[in-house]
Amino acid sequence: MATTSAFQPNARGYYGEFGGAFIPEMLYPNVEELREQYLTILADPDFQRDYQQLLRDFVGRPTPLFEAKRLSARYGTRIFLKREDLCHTGAHKVNNTVGQILLAQRLGKTRIIAETGAGQHGVATATVCALMGMECIVYMGKTDTERQRPNVERMRLLGAEVRPVTSGSQTLKDATNEAIRDWISNPVDTHYIIGSVVGPHPYPDLVARLQAIISEEIRKQLLEKVGRELPDYVVACVGGGSNAAGAFYHFLDEPSVKLIAVEAAGKGIKSGHSAATSVLGKPGIIHGSRTLLMQDEDGQITEPYSLSAGLDYPGIGPLHAFLGASGRARFISIEDEPALRAVAELSRLEGIIPALETAHALAALDQIGAGPEDIVVLNLSGRGDKDLDTYLKYAEQMH
Ligand SMILES: *Cc1c(COP(=O)(O)O)cnc(C)c1O
């Protein structure tokens, strides 16, 4: 792994002007312990053996790289889908939780906390806690527990305790605040598993490294299939940015590979109902790091909107803020309707029903400018089963 890369954070966790660790003093010992130890633990052969074994036997890796021939014909280019939808629990999120639970064990922790919005990260966390027999507490805004009932039931079935949060807007940011409060009160025995490349240093780098398995596999699989490791384009959707960070990671220092990050424009960039942080966001501090976030004139965080629950986050990870600012990645934003149409299109052309988050990346395919000779890898971050109610409700827009 190149340490000289401009796309690795410096010692204080900065990617250019973004990143860092802006935390209350009471949280300092917890974050500092993690920062001092994470690289050593990740590099330890014993950790690597357990991590690789779980990725293989529990998660089901390597996930296939599938050449989507009918989709390719439709867009006049050669498209490969990286099938993260085939991971255990139906999305890439478990790559991170498997790694963090092994890290937590090596830090001597016995209790796990997490925040969740739509519930997908909560389920991925509850899953690995069950696997390891660890206590699991998931903070979730009360509004979200009502909107995402099946995921609450899944977490409970897996043995986790779901704590509904009734402060503020009763959504993700309030759940995050509550998780941080818990961590301050339980510094010795508790590890906080953050679900994306967000939060104070070292979380963005930790989660990016745990998701980097995606691009590590893509390079090997492309070499086998087409005789070269480098695609011309890598396309991924961005909520906080973890699946995109994993898909981009081993291509960051390969300038010939064009990186395309796709955000949710919701009802439209100018509608006031959007989650397109790279367009609407300004530098500010959210969840302990300096990054781009959607805020009003007083610096108050504004509620993001996307029909897709996994993309309605008001910020993006500091790595992505830097990829955008430095021009290394191109950002595209996609509204709800084209995303819904992309769900139907992939389902019918390839027999794969994607998650609504992933569909935003699919809907960007006609904007990236790929030609017949180009190789495009699209990270299929998750499967669509969880979104079936939404697909039924909007069936008319999808035809
Ligand atoms: C959570 C989720 C996302 C968004 O999270 P990132 O950290 O940006 O990857 C995207 N796709 C699926 C299927 C998800 O569950």
**239, 58 contact by CB (below 8 A):** no
**In the predicted model, is pLDDT for residue 1 greater than 60?**
no
For the Cβ of 350 lying below 6 angstroms from any atom of ligand 1, the answer is no
Distance 26 CA to ligand 1 centre (A): 30
**In the predicted model, is pLDDT for residue 383 greater than 60?**
yes
The CA distance from 290 to 204, in Å, is 12
Distance 314 CA to ligand 1 centre (A): 14
In order of start, what are the domains of the chain with their CATH numbers? 22-56+93-207 (3.40.50.1100), 60-90+212-398 (3.40.50.1100)
Distance 7 CA to ligand 1 centre (A): 21
Residue 293's φ and ψ, nearest 5 degrees, are: -145, 155
Residue with the two structure tokens 């280019």: 77
Residue 24's φ and ψ, nearest 5 degrees, are: -65, 150
Residue with the two structure tokens 């052309």: 349
The CA distance from 244 to 381, in Å, is 9
The verdict on whether 381 is a catalytic residue reads yes
**In the predicted model, is pLDDT for residue 227 greater than 60?**
yes
The CA distance from 296 to 282, in Å, is 10
For the Cβ of 239 lying below 6 angstroms from any atom of ligand 1, the answer is yes
Pick the closest to residue 87 from 364, 358, 362, 376 (CA basis): 358
Average pLDDT over residues 76-89: 98
Choose the catalytic residue: 82, 109, 115, 333.
115
* Residue 72: pLDDT band with limits 50, 70, 90: very high
Average pLDDT over residues 179-183: 95
End-to-end CA distance of the chain: 45
> Looking at ligand 1, which residue's alpha carbon is closest to its atom 2?
310
Distance 311 CA to ligand 1 centre (A): 7
pLDDT value, residue 55: 98
**In the predicted model, is pLDDT for residue 299 greater than 60?**
yes
Which ligand 1 atom lies nearest to the CA of residue 90?
A: 13
CA distances from 247 to 94, 154, 222, 233, 376 (A): 15, 28, 13, 11, 12
Average pLDDT over residues 333-346: 97
Lowest-confidence range among 10-19, 24-33, 290-299? 290-299
376-388 burial by CB neighbour count: b if 16+ within 10 A, else e? bbbbbbbbbebbe
> Looking at ligand 1, which residue's alpha carbon is closest to its atom 4?
239
* Residue 312: pLDDT band with limits 50, 70, 90: confident
Average pLDDT over residues 260-283: 92
The verdict on whether 93 is a catalytic residue reads yes
For the Cβ of 310 lying below 6 angstroms from any atom of ligand 1, the answer is yes
Which ligand 1 atom lies nearest to the CA of residue 244?
A: 9
pLDDT value, residue 3: 53
pLDDT value, residue 2: 46
Q: DSSP secondary-structure letter at 55?
A: I
123-168 tens-digit pLDDT: 999 999 999 999 999 999 999 999 889 999 999 999 999 999 999 8
Say which residues have a Cβ less than 8 Å from residue 294's Cβ, sequence separation at least 6.
Answer: 275, 277, 280, 281, 301, 302, 304, 314, 315
For the Cβ of 91 lying below 6 angstroms from any atom of ligand 1, the answer is yes
The CA distance from 341 to 30, in Å, is 45
pLDDT value, residue 279: 87
Which ligand 1 atom lies nearest to the CA of residue 84?
A: 13
Average pLDDT over residues 26-34: 95
Distance 380 CA to ligand 1 centre (A): 10
| Ligand 1 mutation target, pool 83, 84, 196, 291, most atoms within 8 A of CB | 196
pLDDT value, residue 111: 98
For the Cβ of 95 lying below 6 angstroms from any atom of ligand 1, the answer is no
For the Cβ of 117 lying below 6 angstroms from any atom of ligand 1, the answer is no
**Helical segments of the chain, H only:** 28-43, 45-54, 69-75, 93-106, 120-132, 142-147, 149-157, 172-185, 203-211, 213-226, 242-248, 277-280, 318-325, 336-350, 356-363, 388-393
| Ligand 1 mutation target, pool 242, 262, 287, most atoms within 8 A of CB | 242
Which ligand 1 atom lies nearest to the CA of residue 355?
A: 13
The CA distance from 158 to 164, in Å, is 17
Residue 68, both tokens: 């989507």
For the Cβ of 119 lying below 6 angstroms from any atom of ligand 1, the answer is no
**In the predicted model, is pLDDT for residue 309 greater than 90?**
no
As a whole number, the mean pLDDT across the chain is 95
> DSSP letter string over 238-290?
-SSSHHHHHHHGGGTT-TTSEEEEEEEEET-GGGT----HHHH-EEEEETTEE
Question: What's the CA angle centered on 28, arms 173 and 296, to 5 degrees?
Answer: 30
Which ligand 1 atom lies nearest to the CA of residue 198?
A: 7
